[in-house]
Chains A and B, each alone.
Chain A
Amino acid sequence: MPEYSGSLQRVAVAEGLWLIPLLPLLAALLLGWPRARDDSAKNGRERWLAAVAPAAALALLGYFTWVLSARPDAERILVDHVWTFVRIGSLDAALSFSLDSLSAFAACGAAFVGAVVAVFAVTSNVSRFALAAMNLCVSAFLVVVLAQNAVILTLGSGLGGVSVWLLLRGERDAKRGDVVVQSFLGDAVIVVATLLTFWVLGGTWTEAGEYVPEFRPRVAGVEIVTPEGHEPPKLDREAGHVTMISPQAATAYIGGAAICEVDAAGRPGGLGPEANPCKKVARSPFVRIPIGPSRHDLRVVTSRGNDATVAERTPVVAGQETEMAPVASTFGFREVHNQLLIRDVSGARVLRVALLNKTLWGINVVALICGLLVVAGLVKSSLVPFSGWLGRLKDTPSYAVALVVTLGSAVGAFITVRWGFLFDLAPTASGALALVGAMACLLTAAAGVFRADYRTALACFGASQLGVVLVGAGVGAFAGAAYQLVAQAVGVAAILLSIDAVGRASSREGADLDELAGSGAEHPSLAKLVFVVAAGVTAAPIPGLLGLWARDGVTATAFAIDRIGFVPGWMVWGFLGLGGFLGSFLVWRVYYVIFASAPAAKKPTKKKKRKARPLDQRLLWVLRVLAVVLVVGGIVGVQGRYWGSSHPALIDTWLASAFAGAGAPPSLLSSGVMLGQLFGQFSLSLAGWAAARSRYGRERSKSWRSDEERYGQVQRYSLELGVYGAPAGLASGVGTLAQVVARIDRSLLGRRFDDSRIEPPGQASIGSDEPAHEDSAESSSGKEESD
């Protein structure tokens, strides 16, 4: 019987994963550097880099996903170690990427959306700098989803924040600074959550408040058990097999001999100098190196030769795989997840128990970490109350809004899914996440309902769909959450780009719904395409497309669970339903105003007469591709339970390996009840469509325009007072405090107070206004006098 065992995921090493985020990053760097001369011909060629890079990343992803899919379910994870990032004692992080079923799915979705949006943007002749920002955004999101550990995920999250700011043309509008500051807030929360997770795994805060640091990482030999129902890998029955993934770039020894990756004779495995000289010494990550079955003293050397980590008398069993797994502080997602699965000889999951018993300031640390992740999810996903800046997207180009909402804001939601297995340990935090996600879905959708421009409205819709992802992570429907993440990316990008194409074809570049009203009559084929896209996104009035099944993965689980921590499942389901109703109403409102209403009656201006022009066929093809994905993408989410089949949805099967041992238990409700809840959700979406159709369709009331303005004002005031008031008040308080501090600062060492060097209180808020240029002449003269 092994001392430690567990159904850990078996890993393969795949070099080249790092190229996937690097390609768009390089394109961003090449396109972003300011040019002294404008060479239009060369610019035209180089601009296609913006589309080629994400497409190439998608192709690479396709290859690696194919490699991944060829492996058995329980072995679907590829790891690529690039270099060590930080290493001292047990604080060990590497620049490493991994591709499991979750990251493959999310990365493919992101690269696809990035490439499609880039093609759209290139054909629309946007600036090089904007193309660079787009590629940076794609690269950042790919780093986030491919990150092997939490440190690299933070790196991607930070880059994502900057790319969002650049996409919003932050360099032109000083008011967009709140996006940057909000991004820093999100990153700070992620950093704290990550570090708490790291230290709580290995370090100990004693009751006296003292911590005993560890000078080296800890590892233990864990025999990998093949889960029931899975076929074990074909291993040499005569030999034991040693695997080490983390700590990375470490060397393993048995006694005094290094483990060989390739021995002197060119054969794989074996031991070092005495028995079998190494041609190539194994440095982690390495997998399944055959050694003699016995009890071995395995020594792992990371930094200093005299700081070896030793796992004494580790049993290496013939025909089995033993992984040298970290059993203490680690940043790796897989490694943390594995620690929760490791069992001792009695069958107890000892590390999981130990983790659950840790407290900080009397609070369960896992609950604290999950609470922080909830906040990070809200902040980075721009959900209420952190969605204030979405209201200023009117002047931002649609392609930029599409990327900001589908990739930039999706970072927060993805983080909650990635850490989903931790939420599994903290029911209270899970309940909070589900409730907060559902309410955020509802409120963020409500914030976009009566918006006067389609970009803000659809951005709010996109953000509200990320709330569904948060709910998925909270209720344990991780596969549904991941599905929803990709579905909303494709759907929101499709609808935003479609309407933008309508505007271009009608020579209406603005985002005002009023201005775009009636454009559909000029482009009937495009109107049909947008109808399909809207139906795909909202699941109404055509059921069975991507939108319905993506949401169903989450809503069905919420419905089937009695309680999620302290939150009743039906409550979450209800909020999601209302959110679905509002979301559907929002999207269809945009559709009907643009395609079914008459043009606004305005006096003709003296400006150039508007002239409808044929739609660029390349743009049309981009939109067709998105529409097709929205239609056929639903297939992978169709649940067999609705007609009594035991086969789960394709997406559930694919993503199951990423969440082994975590997630909600299978539903005990009958298929009839589940079908009822599905019908309920669909009915609510349908009701949203019906409401929008009756209000904005061909038979709308005559006073609808004035009603819109009135509702819009009520909505704006209620949001500013009720939702965004707290952050604004906080910012104002910080500004006043800063004034006080600056004055004390001046007087600390006896310096005469100089008012001209401190801003008056009204200007202390962040990014609030332009520089006070009016005073410049006066200030200059004042300076000259003082000099």
Chain B
Amino acid sequence: MPSYILQRLGMMLLTLWAIVTLTFFLMHAVPGGPFVSERMLAPEIAAALNAKYGLDQPIWLQYLSYLKGVLTFDLGPSFKYPGVSINTMIATGLPVTLQTGLLAVICVVALGIPMGIVAALNRNRWPDTAVMMLATIGVAIPSYVIATVLLYVFALRLGWVPTFGLDDWRGYILPVFALSGFWVSFVARLTRSSLLETFEQDYMTTARAKGLRPGQILFKHGLRNSLVPVVTVLGPVVANLITGSFVIEQIFALPGIGRQFVLSITNRDYTAIMGITIFYAAALMVMILIVDLLYAVLDPRIKLSGAKA
């Protein structure tokens, strides 16, 4: 087990390094460099800025110093807001993003899985049809469309919830709903198909042949096995709920990392774009690692000693 985790950590660091490198060189490949798109700067000011941000150094030196920064959890200063570090930007936005993201994850687990169970247990009857219809809508309609339509109907027309901000608990409803809509539907569909597949397994017949009660059969034998594929997607889901939040944060004007990211793009704040991308990628990979470990707990066949097949 420890050797497996070590191996996974090593792989993660390698991937992160690839991401940092790719991001760094992509951002430095932007034609003209970071200050060109700005209003015309006097040459001496531009030179001073370049010197300040180390842009006068050869690119590999810049790369090495950036890499060193990343390794020491220092993502450098913002180009746009002098004196503000990317770390501070992320630290200010993180609570908001985490709050909405975690609420959305809770929604996905607490709504998606039960919906899938209800559908599977009532296969081809009306609860199944209803759940599958809802899930198809949720999977097909893009989150930003859901968000804007919800915003229009519930905030502008009906006035039940505020249009922006999180001052009130009601402010969370729409963003969390819009954020989790796709994944609730996705998980509901996955749980349903996984359960239906599990019902066909021989060991389910064994469980019935042993005279176990319906609840035992469903929860102990059926659900546990069906949840294995669901848990596998939960890692990417968590990551997506956090990275995917940038439109939602934009629409509902929530001061999270996602909004910061979109803002950095509009501002061409290159260090911020770079830093937040790397932060997202790292968060995603930690999430996937956690989920893989959880996966091993659910399914004893997965040995945590070697690499995955």
Q: Do the two chains belong together in a single complex?
A: no
Residues of B at the A interface (CB closer than 8 Å) are: none
Residues of A at the B interface (CB closer than 8 Å) are: none
